[in-house]
Chain A
């Protein structure tokens, strides 16, 4: 029986790891996106006593290794009385961490947003909320699409760290099979295939979204 046959027999474990990774990834990027948009909204035209703490939060997330954040949420929070299981610690850490990155990507783009459009919105009676959600955010998302795509791939790869806080996802499946049968190379090659499949699918979707923005002249991206 070859090593590959062993892995084929254990395909159920890969599959459940794969689904778990997809689930963690899907939930956490939705969370990260919402957090990113929320931070951008709070930064928009707010007073310094709000923007300064927000910028400090964003920057401290960006300077922190992801694994340490995951550790902090899983092992650190119980000491202040908050106990999250490994799965939710992982999803939470990913969402907050990449949410800060999303916010930073959006913020960078916001700085170059044409002020004339904002003035036009004000002149037409828009208030902050409607202007943000109808005029600013859609354009910022279209313009940052490739950067967001990149960030999604980082987020996907960061899900693999969660094996260390005992989340049973794709990398955990490979890890356990490789140590049970002593076939690390083959086991990890299989999970690489899974990660590639997710990444490539994501790339294709994001490219397709590019058509939508190219039609509107956001083709400098």
Chain B
């Protein structure tokens, strides 16, 4: 099978991805394939490049070399190397939904309008259609009672659940989670993880950076360990967490042996 065909099959296909900040190489020839319906967790110590990798997928960071395809569509540059015009880039980006560590809701819009904003004003959906979709998604994340509230009145866990609904409203090919529970009080982590777990059960394609090891083990199809910008280990979660191949991962897991949630 040719490379192009393989890219078409995958929700996300990352090839030979490299990226440096000044002199520091944060990603080195990373290869990653995420099939539709698959949940891939990226693990690594801080500074390993995992957030950068995730942020390259929707071009919030521009890689120096390599290619990324979302559902067969190249992001950021055309196949012939021409840079992609912003409008086109925005269209490909809209194929991904991103959930941030810091929620990043738009504070001047209420919960419902945070979720309908992009479907209406980016995708051109009718107000009615967008609101029906938003209502269903807010129901799914357990926030339907807060339609009219403004973000400043919500807890961190509630904000993050709204942010998840907002990203889902784009009906993306893949959901990207960048440490979605790292900014939350410990007692609020569970409610967000429960939502993400439901999504994985429903077959959403997801790529997630997280420090919640027990959770990663429970929901992932594939776990990837990143160290200094290199993928040094990838495996199904059972193999990864019980019989890691490298000393580095064994050490890392020993330091993270407090599985609590889910």
Contact = CB atoms under 8 A, between A and B. Distances in A.
Interface of A: 114, 116-117, 119-128, 130, 134-135, 138-139, 142, 213, 215-218
Taking residues whose C-beta sits less than 8 angstroms from the other chain, chain B's interface range is 20 to 34
A139 B98 CA distance: 22
Given A124-B170, A138-B108, 7 more contacts: A122-B93, A124-B93, A124-B167, A125-B91, A125-B123, A135-B117, A216-B150
B144 to A, nearest CB: 20
**Helix, strand, loop or mixed for chain B's interface?**
mixed
Given A119-B60, A216-B107, A125 B170 contact: yes
A20 B96 CA distance: 55
Contact of A127 (B58, B86, B98, B163): B86
Nearest to A140: B108
The 5 A-B pairs of least Cβ separation, nearest first, read: A217-B152, A125-B94, A120-B104, A124-B118, A116-B104
A215 B86 contact: no
A14 B103 CA distance: 56
A125 B98 contact: no
Contacts of B122: 124-126, 130
A126 B90 contact: yes
Interface in B147-178: 150-153, 163, 166-167, 170, 176
8 contacts: A119-B100, A123-B58, A124-B167, A126-B90, A126-B118, A127-B87, A134-B117, A142-B108
Interface string B74-110: 0000000000001100110110111010111111100
A122 B97 CA distance: 11
Contacts of B145: none
The secondary-structure label for the interface of chain A is: helix
B128 interface: no
Nearest to B114: A120
A122 B150 CA distance: 21
B149 to A, nearest CB: 10
A120 B106 contact: yes
